[in-house]
Structure 1
Amino acid sequence: MALFPKNPNESLFPGGKKHFTEVIKNDQSGVDQIAYVNSQEDFNIGSTLIVGPGEQAIFLRDGQIVGEPFGPGRYVLETNNYPFVSRLVNAVSGGVSSFHCTVVFFRTVDSAPMGWGTATPIQVFDREFGLDADIRGYGQYILRVADPRALLVNLMGDNVSGMDAAYIGQQLEGIVVEAIRAAVAEVIGDAMDAGDDVMNVLRHGRELKGSVCDAIAESSALDRYGLVLTSLSIMDLHVSRDSPYYKLRQQNAASRQKARDMGNFAGAYPNAAWSAQQSVEVMHHVADNPAGGVASAAAGLGMGLGAMPAFGAQAASVFPGAQPVVAQQPTGPTCPKCGAPASPGSRFCSVCGTPLAASRPGGSAAAPRFCASCGAELAAGANFCPSCGTRV
């Protein structure tokens, strides 16, 4: 055993031992790191510090930051470690220096692009559907250290010697990604509160990216660590296809499209049956109330599904889980033209205005006939329509 044991840190010095004076510099300057703790610690008094372009250095002595961060240039450092004497002083502590000192280097120019992504979805609540919209995405960002002292104090703390560049990078990644996630949730949430739709917000990528950058700057989430986000790219941002929210939206969109198709049909054929027209109303009602169900939609419109013979199958195809409805025959008089129910004693249909059947002598009712082409009423025994000439 040596009389004066060496400081274990000496193995990290060039040649495996300390010299009268050292040259302290960023020996990993070719690696794109945000912060780097120099491996040569407890160096002797009079050692030279070299700071390169695009970086700053902080000198730590006895647990304190000495002066202001050093910019690019050459400096001579004052420590309490003296050649030979420091070995004698450290002998009582097993070679560990009683006058600890080290240098931390910080990159003050733009970093290389670093990736971000949503390991777990960003959740934004949609009041219309009563569900969280699970949003996933990824992109890249570029950082710059604007305040090395803030980064050292608030991120690295008193564990400087135990940190390498990889660990510091991981810590910074977590901070930046969380700031991006919070800003995305805030921007989309505010847009939805203002009446916008999440899908519409996600379609406007350029405006969304600008709003997210503004939200990060306003939140000061990175200021505490002395960081500036100089660039942000959003390569993809979408609602998760596997989420209940996305599936409900797809179902809702299908019901709306079905209602539009039925509405177009009714517009093209104005003399179509009254029941088909009512089907359109129910489809629209269900599309606007996805949680209400088919039966409640019909009840809300003041009609029974029995008045829509063809609607049961359509509803089952559009709304999974809907039970087929047994058609019920109307119990009162109906319009001979459109099939709408009529109140007893009514002389005209309340839907299309067609005269209702009149009583013949002897109590029998003669149902009027109408042209299939133009809808005009036909005289008894007529073979051609008096309005359009269509053979009947």
Structure 2
Amino acid sequence: MFFRKQFANVVEWQEFRDDMIFYKWKNDEIKKGSRLIIRPGQDAIFLNNGKIEGIFRDEGEYDIESQIIPFLSTLKGIKFGFNSGMRVEVLFVSTKEFVVKWGTPNVINIPAQGFPGGMPVRANGTFTFKVSDYVTLIDQIAGVRDQYLVEDVRLRISAVLDQLLMKWITREGKDMFNLQANSFEIGRGIREDLDMEMMKSGISITGFNIISFNYPKEVQDMINKVASQGMVGDIGRYQQIAMTEGMASGKMAGGGTAADMAGMMMGMQVAGKMLEQMNQQTAQQQPARPQPVQPQPAVQTPQSGGAVRPNFCPNCGTKAGEGNFCSNCGHKLV
């Protein structure tokens, strides 16, 4: 005798995790009397031989025989057989937007003037993504995998992130010493490129944020000193202070280490570049200074007999009259 619940099972997202993008339910068969459970934030996709039969988005509990099968595209007339099962897979997909932290594990050497090996930079931030195309997701990933995690997406993006950072930092000559001011524009460009890349897997990159750019400690220390000491245009004094501090700390005793010297030279290059930029900005902002008016020499009037009488008294400066003596102090004019 066959009992209705004898072969019944529950089709649901088992082993649920917050970082799981999709999960494939693939028991041997779905039996008569089986039920489908869809929880909030989930879509259930019925697959037959890798093809989508139906997508169910509303949360709740459903009887598969009466409430699901009638809506499946090619399985409406399925030979369900009350004592036999239906071989079909159910793919549960998370509909939420995932937030992922990212960071450059190693420095990125960005091409920069004055740095033959490039300016070493690190960066960190977050990006967000969600599943947008079920057909592509199944064709590219879910067809061969039973589950897909956020870490899988993060690793894939990390593989191309260094190149994208370099592309958008150097695009249109970004200021290497003030990258944070351009972080929004850089992040927007990276998001567009990543979205084009991940679209091939049915995933959309909905946001990409850069929290901070970080320079090596030696470079950052030099930048901070230049900013705080305000030595605009005085790179010679800056170098003297840097050398003095190095000797006082003992780092340069006996020649110091190669790393110390390399760090100091890098910092000096940074300082020189910053001061050059600051001087250029200052010159552009300051108005041209008026040239001083040079005093005109006094015009002297020749007198009869070859004597020259000055127009102003050489003793007190009073304007000379017609006479031969100053009307103010009596000094002889001729």
Question: Residues 142 and 36 of structure 1: is their aligned pair in 2 closer, same or farther, counting only changes over 3 Å?
Answer: same
- Once the two structures are superposed, what CA deviation does each residue of 1:43-101 show, in whole Å capped at 9, x if it has no partner? 2256443434433222223x322324332264424577767656xxxxxxxxxxxx853
Query: Do the aligned residues in 1 keep the contact of 2:50 with 2:143 (CA within 8 Å)?
Result: no
1:110 deviates by 1.7
Alpha-carbon distance between aligned partners in 2 of 1:53 and 1:319, rounded to the nearest angstrom:
58
Q: Counterpart of 1:144?
A: 130
1:63-212 paired onto structure 2 within 5 Å: 63-72=49-58, 74=62, 75-77=67-69, 100-111=87-98, 113-126=99-112, 128-160=114-146, 163=147, 168-178=149-159, 180-192=161-173, 196-212=174-190
- Once the two structures are superposed, what CA deviation does each residue of 1:345-389 show, in whole Å capped at 9, x if it has no partner? xxxxxxxxxxxxxxxxxxxxxxxxxxxxxxxxxxxxxxxxxxxxx
2:38 maps to 1:51 = yes
Q: Select the residue among 230, 234, 250 that pairs with 1:261.
A: 234
Alpha-carbon distance between aligned partners in 1 of 2:177 and 2:100, rounded to the nearest angstrom:
27
Alpha-carbon distance between aligned partners in 2 of 1:149 and 1:319, rounded to the nearest angstrom:
56
Q: Counterpart of 2:204?
A: 228
What root-mean-square deviation, in Å, do the aligned CA atoms of Structure 1 and Structure 2 show? 3.9
Alpha-carbon distance between aligned partners in 2 of 1:101 and 1:169, rounded to the nearest angstrom:
26
Alpha-carbon distance between aligned partners in 2 of 1:114 and 1:129, rounded to the nearest angstrom:
33
Question: Residues 27 and 109 of structure 1: is their aligned pair in 2 closer, same or farther, counting only changes over 3 Å?
Answer: same
Give the letter for the 1:260 counterpart: G
The alignment's TM-score, normalised by the length of structure 2, stands at 0.52
Shifted more, 143-152 versus 28-37: the winner is: 28-37
Question: Residues 82 and 116 of structure 1: is their aligned pair in 2 closer, same or farther, counting only changes over 3 Å?
Answer: farther
1:222 deviates by 1.6
Alpha-carbon distance between aligned partners in 2 of 1:146 and 1:262, rounded to the nearest angstrom:
55
The alignment's TM-score, normalised by the length of structure 1, stands at 0.45
1:226 deviates by 1.5
Give the letter for the 2:194 counterpart: I
Unmatched segments (≥5 aa) in structure 2: 70-74, 238-263, 267-334
Alpha-carbon distance between aligned partners in 1 of 2:234 and 2:30, rounded to the nearest angstrom:
82
1:173-322 paired onto structure 2 within 5 Å: 173-178=154-159, 180-192=161-173, 196-217=174-195, 220-241=196-217, 246=219, 260-261=233-234
1:106 deviates by 0.9
Question: Residues 122 and 66 of structure 1: is their aligned pair in 2 closer, same or farther, counting only changes over 3 Å?
Answer: same
Q: Secondary structure at the match of 2:234?
A: helix
Question: Residues 125 and 170 of structure 1: is their aligned pair in 2 closer, same or farther, counting only changes over 3 Å?
Answer: same
1:315-354 paired onto structure 2 within 5 Å: none
Give the letter for the 2:96 counterpart: V
Alpha-carbon distance between aligned partners in 2 of 1:82 and 1:181, rounded to the nearest angstrom:
56
Question: Residues 159 and 261 of structure 1: is their aligned pair in 2 closer, same or farther, counting only changes over 3 Å?
Answer: closer
1:107 deviates by 1.3
1:188 deviates by 0.4
| Higher share in strand | 2
Unmatched segments (≥5 aa) in structure 1: 1-17, 87-98, 265-317, 321-392
Question: Residues 67 and 127 of structure 1: is their aligned pair in 2 closer, same or farther, counting only changes over 3 Å?
Answer: farther
* Greater length-normalized contact order (CA 8 Å, ≥ 6 residues apart): 2
Alpha-carbon distance between aligned partners in 2 of 1:19 and 1:169, rounded to the nearest angstrom:
38
Give the letter for the 2:153 counterpart: L
- Give % identity: 19
1:172 deviates by 1.5
Q: Secondary structure at the match of 2:197?
A: coil
Question: Residues 200 and 39 of structure 1: is their aligned pair in 2 closer, same or farther, counting only changes over 3 Å?
Answer: same
Q: Secondary structure at the match of 1:34?
A: strand
Alpha-carbon distance between aligned partners in 2 of 1:82 and 1:237, rounded to the nearest angstrom:
63
Q: Counterpart of 1:42?
A: 29
Query: Do the aligned residues in 1 keep the contact of 2:8 with 2:30 (CA within 8 Å)?
Result: yes
Q: Counterpart of 2:11?
A: 24
